[in-house]
Amino acid sequence: MRVIARDGEHEIEIQRSRFLCTVARVTSVDEANAVIARVRRAGPNANHHCVALRIGDPETGALTARSNDDGEPSGTAGVPMLEVLTRRELTDVVAVVSRWFGGIKLGAGGLVRAYSSVLSETLDVLGELRRVRHRELLLALPHDRAGRLENQLRNSPYRLRGVEYGSDVTFTVAVQDGAVEEFEAWLAEQVGDTLDVLDAGPCDLYLP
């Protein structure tokens, strides 16, 4: 799944109308609604706050997609914004375009182009990442053997997420879904033994 690299805003002006696009990464409709409410509070004198969102469930693959024209002619604002998000295959994102009317009517086609353009430009500015499902694995080694493995992990395709020093050294490693057996084989080769690996559950990493 693709996501935005960061939250942000971008503004354009068309025929004296001001279009301010706010885009944020969200993981639920409640989070999206909070962003929409914040934007509305920040621009109470805007004529419209048009919305599009796409939120994916990494467990089931289900996707929630919604749009709202907020008083613009039907299909001229929220729908083309949602089409931009869909075309780019973005998820976990809400986009709100606030419009301050400049006195010149743009017509249906002009509105579609305006709302599409400001969102596309905003996404270009913010950039995109991939959301990749991983498993978070825990493993422990005695101190006298841990240094070598830590170096090997840092130079491996696996992602070392943390190192905790106690009676043993515990490593937290993120391994992409479907590659756990491959990782365990690699691990056994590095340490010359079979280690107990605890699966601590799923985690998502955001990668270029």
CATH number for the segment(s) 2-126: 3.30.230.30
What pLDDT, on a 0 to 100 scale, did the predictor assign at position 1?
A: 86
pLDDT values of the chain reduced to their tens digit, one per residue, 208 residues: 899 999 999 999 999 999 999 999 999 999 999 999 999 999 999 999 999 999 998 778 899 999 999 999 999 999 999 999 999 999 999 999 999 999 999 999 999 999 999 999 999 999 999 999 999 999 999 999 999 999 999 999 999 999 999 999 999 999 999 999 999 999 999 999 888 999 999 999 999 9
Spell out the residues 6+ positions from residue 74 whose beta carbon is closer than 8 angstroms to its own. Answer: none
What pLDDT, on a 0 to 100 scale, did the predictor assign at position 109?
A: 98
End-to-end CA distance of the chain: 12
How does strand 128-141 pair with strand 169-176? antiparallel
| The CATH number of domain 130-207, selected from 3.30.1360.40, 3.30.70.240, 3.30.1540.20, 3.60.130.10 | 3.30.70.240
CATH 3.30.230.30 residue spans of the chain: 2-126
What pLDDT, on a 0 to 100 scale, did the predictor assign at position 58?
A: 76
pTM surpassing 0.75?
A: yes
Distance CA 208, CA 187 (A): 26
CATH 3.30.70.240 residue spans of the chain: 130-207
Sequential DSSP letters for the chain: -EEESS-EEEEEEETTEEEEEEEEE-SSHHHHHHHHHHHHHH-TT-SEEEEEEEEE-TTT--EEEEEE-TTSSTTSSHHHHHHHHHHTTB-SEEEEEEEE--S---HHHHHHHHHHHHHHHHHHHH-EEEEEEEEEEEEEE-HHHHHHHHHHHHTSSSEEEEEEESSSEEEEEEEETT-HHHHHHHHHHHHTS----EEEEEEEEEE-
